[in-house]
């Protein structure tokens, strides 16, 4: 795709709204990518927390407070993941 410079008169005639309109699809893709990254971070955190919970449960001396804290953190992350996935599906229904 070759880039062509618009005539100066056309550039001056472009309003801020027109420029924003032209950039809207790019901004939407960037926002979607950021949302997907946040979802992936939460998923990674959940896998890590699940592993931590299993390790804590396998220790000789069980520390129930730590196990409960990790389970709470896992459940909070799980809830946040569901929320962000719902927001993504509502904000970006076409994808």
Q: Is residue 94 part of a domain?
A: yes
Q: What is the pLDDT of residues 14-46, one digit of tens each?
A: 677 777 777 888 888 999 999 999 999 999 999
Whether residue 23 is contained in a domain is answered as no
Whether 31 is covered by a domain: the verdict is: no
SS3 content of the chain, % helix, strand, coil (to 5): 80, 0, 20
pLDDT of 63? 96
- Is residue 29 in some structural domain? no
Confidence of residue 82 (pLDDT cuts 50, 70, 90): very high
Task: Answer yes or no: is 69 within a domain.
Answer: yes
On the question of pLDDT at 95 being above 60, the answer is no
Which structural domain, as residue segments, surrounds residue 93? 39-95
Instruction: Please state the domain count of the chain.
Output: 1
How far, CA to CA in Å, does 63 sit from each of 29, 66, 69? Answer: 45, 6, 10
More confident of the two residues 5 and 36: 36
Beta carbons of 36 and 84 less than 8 angstroms apart: no
Question: Quick check: is 26 in a domain?
Answer: no
The answer as to whether 83 is a domain residue is: yes
Query: What pTM was computed for the model?
Result: 0.71
Residue 22 maps to a domain: no
């Amino acid at each position: 795709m070759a880039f062509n410079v618009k005539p100066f008169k056309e550039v001056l005639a472009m309003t801020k709204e027109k420029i924003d309109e032209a950039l809207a699809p790019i901004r939407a893709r960037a926002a979607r990518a950021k949302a997907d990254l946040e979802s992936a971070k939460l998923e990674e955190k959940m896998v890590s927390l699940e592993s931590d919970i299993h390790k804590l449960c396998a220790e000789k001396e069980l520390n129930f407070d730590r196990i409960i804290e990790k389970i709470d953190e896992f459940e909070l992350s799980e809830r946040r993941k569901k929320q962000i996935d719902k927001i993504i599906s509502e904000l970006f229904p076409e994808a």
